[in-house]
Chains A and B, each alone.
Chain A
Amino acid sequence: MTILGRILIVEDDPNDVELTLTALTDYNLANEVVITRDGQQALDYLHCRGEFNTRSSGNPAVMLLDLKLPKVGGLEVLQQIKSDERLKMIPVVVLTSSHEEKDMMKSYSLGVNAYVVKPVDFHEFVNAVKELGVFWAVINEPPPGSVKK
């Protein structure tokens, strides 16, 4: 069995969560997935605080981050992660609906590892999520200190 890295998904839309999980399940990538529904929850998870204070420490192998989130927005989450010594090594992939150059520029200047626009076509969407999951959770060697199974 290949070593599977933990995937942290930050997504507020339940439909998108379900579709993403469906895509990951299709390729047996869904075992080590954590879902957080807004930016605050995601940061709580990463810092092992609040509702996550009992979780075993360790960073996810990859974080799939939506930009438009309630409470703390995606770009702000990204900024906080990349300016935190303990978190900045986590590979972050922005997975968003936004085609806007503005968002893209901002994300890259904050040090995002990849920027993926969610395709409208379902097959393409499934494909994109699968490729992301396979690459970041299986192929890519995550930085030391990441949770593996």
Chain B
Amino acid sequence: MAYWNQEFQRIHSPIVRYGFSVVSVAIAVGVALALGYYEFRDVELPVLTLAIALTTWYAGAGPSVLAVLLSSACFDYFFTEPLYSFGVSGRDLPYFFIFVVWAAIVASFSAVRRRIEDSLRQARDNLQVELEQRRHREDEIRKLNQELGKRAAELEATNKELESFAYSVSHDLRAPLRHMVGYSELLQRQASSLLDEKSQRFIQTILDSAKRMGNLIDDLLAFSRIGRAETRKTEVDLEQLVKEVVAEIRQDTKSRDIAWKIGALPVCYGDRSMLRLVIVNLVSNAVKFTRMRRPAEIEIGCVDHNKKEVEVFVRDNGAGFDMQYVDKLFGVFQRLHLPEQFEGTGIGLATVQRIIHRHGGTVRGEGAVDKGATFYFSLSKAQHAAEMTENAP
């Protein structure tokens, strides 16, 4: 490597380059004359071509032309008959001519060689720059990776913290609630004969509130568990799942007049128990909000958008909602109805959204007050998901 580096160190200043040309020819002439003086014969041609070659090599094309011209002149002047004049005798003309041609060939060979060396050097420089860039990029990637690792560790720590938070909520918050309920009940039992109607109502309110808070805590814990639980994705026959859920809900709504309509649904790819929770939430909502309808109409079906995704909907003819508040529908503990109208904590649709988002789908709702509501969720079809995994490297 060091050798090459030295080779490539060329002379850049033009004065030095042309000077080099003149000096090297002068030295060659001197050496040739000196050798001639010591009776060595015919050394001028190789010595001068060597000078031309060196000039071309180290000083480039212009100086090499100068060297050819100069050495031709010197050759003519010093070494061809008549000596010490620029005239050329007829006998020496071929000899002189051969010298000029030979000098030109040497110069052009050297020039070609020099050009190749130059392009090689450039290629090497480019390579070095690229290498440098790559090293830089690698450094950057390593830095990013480190940062990512740190972020992941932070996230894990936060997750752990959250988990222990949820744990203590589930454990410690419930105990005092249970005591509130327990002692209120005992008080009710113990002092029912002594208490007037108003006091009885107060105790009942304490009881109801405590129970409600218990429900809220349970819902919140279940909701946070969805975010933490691992999804176990398999092929899920949505139609079968929906029929299962509806059959279960029908058991509890025997007294109601509900017209069910279940359309054909495809096989999807997802976590069965989570998707079940989605359908349970949406269908129970439909049942709840059609309480005042006779008959209530609940339809479950799908819109086939393309071969990748399917959009499943649950439609009812119940209380509906004002589209103005559609953004609030999927928020945690967001409710669009008064608790006296419809019970519930307001976690159902938030749970639905969270599960569908974890499956890479979207949710949306449509409705109008007293005209019913339709809730949509999208999922990848099993076939598409299978293709995706097949094509994955």
Interface residues of A, Cβ cutoff 8 Å to B: 13, 15-16, 19, 22, 68, 96-100, 102, 118-123, 125
Closest to B213 in A: A120
Are A100 and B170 interface neighbours, CB within 8 A? yes
- Supply 26 A–B pairs (Cβ within 8 Å), ascending by A: A15-B175, A16-B178, A19-B178, A19-B182, A22-B186, A96-B171, A97-B174, A99-B218, A99-B221, A100-B167, A100-B171, A118-B174, A118-B178, A119-B178, A120-B177, A120-B178, A120-B181, A120-B210, A120-B211, A121-B181, A121-B214, A122-B181, A122-B182, A122-B184, A123-B185, A125-B178
In angstroms, Cα B186 to Cα A123, docked, is 10
In angstroms, Cα B173 to Cα A98, docked, is 10
Are A15 and B171 interface neighbours, CB within 8 A? no
Which among B183, B211, B218 is the interface contact of A15 at CB below 8 angstroms? B183
In angstroms, Cα B142 to Cα A4, docked, is 70
In angstroms, Cα B214 to Cα A20, docked, is 19
Q: Does B135 contact A (CB under 8 A)?
A: no
Q: Does B179 contact A (CB under 8 A)?
A: yes
A99-B221, A120-B210 known; A68-B171 Cβ under 8 A: yes
Are B181 and A99 interface neighbours, CB within 8 A? no
Are A97 and B185 interface neighbours, CB within 8 A? no
For the complex of A and B, 6 pairs with smallest distance between CB atoms: A120-B214, A122-B185, A15-B179, A19-B182, A97-B174, A122-B182
In angstroms, Cα B221 to Cα A147, docked, is 41
Chain B hits for A96, CB < 8 A: 171
**A75 → B minimal CB distance (Å):** 13
Are A97 and B170 interface neighbours, CB within 8 A? yes
**A94 → B minimal CB distance (Å):** 13
Are B182 and A98 interface neighbours, CB within 8 A? no
Chain A hits for B170, CB < 8 A: 97-100
Interface residues of B, Cβ cutoff 8 Å to A: 167, 170-172, 174-175, 177-179, 181-186, 210-211, 214, 218, 221
Closest to A118 in B: B178
Are A97 and B175 interface neighbours, CB within 8 A? yes
Closest to B178 in A: A120
Are A98 and B171 interface neighbours, CB within 8 A? yes
In angstroms, Cα B23 to Cα A20, docked, is 115
Are A15 and B182 interface neighbours, CB within 8 A? yes
Are B182 and A125 interface neighbours, CB within 8 A? yes
**B107 → A minimal CB distance (Å):** 87
**A25 → B minimal CB distance (Å):** 12
**A38 → B minimal CB distance (Å):** 16
In angstroms, Cα B218 to Cα A93, docked, is 22
In angstroms, Cα B171 to Cα A96, docked, is 8
Are A13 and B175 interface neighbours, CB within 8 A? yes
Are B171 and A19 interface neighbours, CB within 8 A? no
Closest to A20 in B: B182
**A87 → B minimal CB distance (Å):** 26
**B27 → A minimal CB distance (Å):** 93
**A143 → B minimal CB distance (Å):** 31
**B273 → A minimal CB distance (Å):** 13
